[in-house]
Amino acid sequence: MLAPTKLSLSGERFSVVYHIVGNHEEVMRKAEDICVEQTIEFPADLVPDDDIRSSIIGRIEEVEACDNNTFRVRISYAVEIVQGELTQFLNVIFGNISLKPGIRVQDLHLPEALLRDYRGPRFGISGVRSLVGVSDRPLLCTAIKPMGLSVAELSRQTYEFALGGVDIIKDDHGLTDQSFAPYRERVSRCVESVQKANQQSGRVSLYAPNVTAPGDQLFERAYFAKQAGAGALLVSPGIVGFDRMQALADDDRIALPLLYHPTFLGSFVTSPLNGISHRVIFGLIGRLAGADIVIFPNFGGRFSFSREECLSIAQAACEPMAHLRPIFPAPAGGMKIERIAEMIETYGNDVILLIGGDLHRHPQGLQKASQLFRESVLQGRRYSWQSDYLAQMIQQ
């Protein structure tokens, strides 16, 4: 047995709500295992009745049945065990136990004592609105694509989208530094295209290049984008790491809004029995890591997220969280112009509507498609490419 340990701790604790599968006896055994596995990872019977046992080891605070085979268990941890490090925070809430079945992180309860160690989003909803000069409507977003196009063609798309009134034009997340569209050339040309369109329209559109890259290139690409005049950055924390996204957000030499792309994170949320809930990984952790905009698959698109799961992300993006700014939810994933009214009704005004491939379907081109996208948002009405085009043909 260890000798008794005396610690000087604040007494402040944060909580993780787990959904644990099993009968009551099995769940209690799993919960007690979580308390130890996520903290000391040491035989609990070798720890004396000291401060490690009373404060460091996780503490079961609540147990409540959800259904016949799942229980809601809230476990608290001392804030000192994460010490302001996002990497350690993630390790504590779902480290070794991610390797065990039937455990899902459902929610987080984070006190100000923990949140004060995080700067959070630099811009948030109000800051992004200020950059584009829009205060009273949802923002419009699209992506340049598909992979394989030349820099000239991608920059042409950027120009037409911006001239048509799209607020944020981002790289598709599959565009990196390929030979057919090299990163530096693409960023420089797309920035020039947006600036040209902005001068002509009198509006402000932002171009967000994808900076997701190997570790030694991530910041190099971000600094280049900033110097070239990019208005925001797209990053995939599931690939580069949430702490790297946090470092981008905190870097005063960059100081650009961050769009959080969900690629590589799907397996965390697709099972109701394991992983991390939509609200936690996209909403709450996204804000801790400094995202200003969180992109996620909207319900009814080409992915499997439900309406309730999407709303849980939007709520977590905007709910009070000490000094951390609320951020924009950006539902996407096969969205069509016809669904604009439904999406505004679902998410309200503080949303970014991300429509990609559907804008390419308009027979009169991207600028016209963007103009109609903008008009549909301003009027909050349903739109159909086919019916609009046919009406114009009849009038002619």
pLDDT along the chain (396 residues), means of 10: 94 98 97 98 96 98 94 98 97 98 98 98 98 97 98 98 98 98 98 98 98 97 98 98 98 98 98 97 98 97 95 98 98 93 95 96 93 91 47 41
Contact 82, 95 (CB under 8 A): no
**Can you read off the two tokens belonging to residue 388?**
């609009």
Our measurement of the distance from residue 162's CA atom to the centroid of its chain's CA atoms, rounded to an integer in Å, reads 24
The pLDDT score that the predictor gives to residue 8 is: 96
211 and 225 Cβ atoms separated by less than 8 Å: yes
Q: Where are the beta strands (DSSP E) in the chain?
A: 13-21, 59-67, 70-78, 103-109, 139-144, 168-171, 206-208, 233-235, 258-260, 275-276, 293-297, 328-332, 352-354
Which distant-in-sequence residues (6+ apart) come within 8 Å of 353 by Cβ?
138, 139, 140, 141, 330, 331, 335, 340, 343, 344, 377
Q: Tell me which of 170, 173, 261, 368 is the catalytic residue.
A: 261
pLDDT score recorded for residue 379: 87
Instruction: Report how far residue 260's alpha carbon sits from residue 330's, in angstroms, rounded to the nearest whole number.
Output: 9
Query: Is position 261 annotated as part of the catalytic site?
Result: yes
Q: What is the pLDDT of residue 381?
A: 53
Give the active site residue among 145, 170, 278, 368. 145
